[in-house]
Amino acid sequence: MTSVDPATMRDVMGRFATGVAVVTGERHGVPHGMTVNSLTSVSLRPPLLLVCLSAGARSTEAITAGGRFAVNILSARQEHLARRFAQRGADHFAGLSVERGRHGVPVIPDAFARLECDVDRHFVAGDHVVVIGEVRELRAREGEPLGFLRGKFSDIVDRGREPVDWFF
């Protein structure tokens, strides 16, 4: 039996700084979205990414049943959207004009970057559902990303270092 408690797990993993995204989907014509920082690039050929979504959340159901979703990576100026889409039980799109991507999935207008995906596969892992998406469309704009570190939104600063060579 493990003795790792959830608060400690969250506190320690919170040292791993991330960006912030809103995953969006649709179910029975109703748009859903939730703020995530569990976004990870999985594969380049084919282009796959994953997000880990809370097993009970409405967005999780919308995305796994609908078979499509968009990942909207937020800019430093979109913290208000990160907070809006993290509110439990709220109608996250209330008052927002719903824009759609090329695959018809609701998207966040003016996101820092956007990746539209088909669900490749999904499986339950503990209290979350791991959703692997195959990227169909993607775009990005200039700007600064929103960061998340130790439970707080933060800036991610480009210090102009040399780019890293990728050997794999």
Ligand X SMILES: Cc1cc2nc3c(=O)[nH]c(=O)nc-3n(C[C@H](O)[C@H](O)[C@H](O)COP(=O)(O)O)c2cc1C
Q: Which is nearer to ligand X, 50 or 135 (CB)?
A: 50
Produce one character per residue of 12-40: b if its CB has 16 or more CB atoms within 10 Å, e if not: eeeeeebbbbbbbbbeeeebbbbbbbbbe
CB of 48 to ligand X, least distance (A): 17
| Site of interaction with ligand X (CB under 6 A) | 20, 34-38, 52-54, 57-59, 82, 85-86, 88-89, 128, 148
In the chain, DSSP finds a helix count (H) and a strand count (E) of 3, 12
**Judged by CB, which is closer to ligand X: 69, or 85?**
85
Nearest approach in angstroms of CB 2 to ligand X is 21
Q: Give the single-character DSSP code of 102.
A: T
Q: How far is the CB of 49 from ligand X (least distance, A)?
A: 12
Among residues 54 and 136, whose Cβ is nearest to ligand X? 54
Minimum CB–partner distance for residue 92 and ligand X (Å): 7
Please write down the HEC assignment for all residues of 40-94.
Answer: EEEECCCCEEEEEEECCCHHHHHHHHHCEEEEEECEHHHHHHHHHCCCCCCCCCC
Nearer to ligand X, 1 or 7 (CB): 7
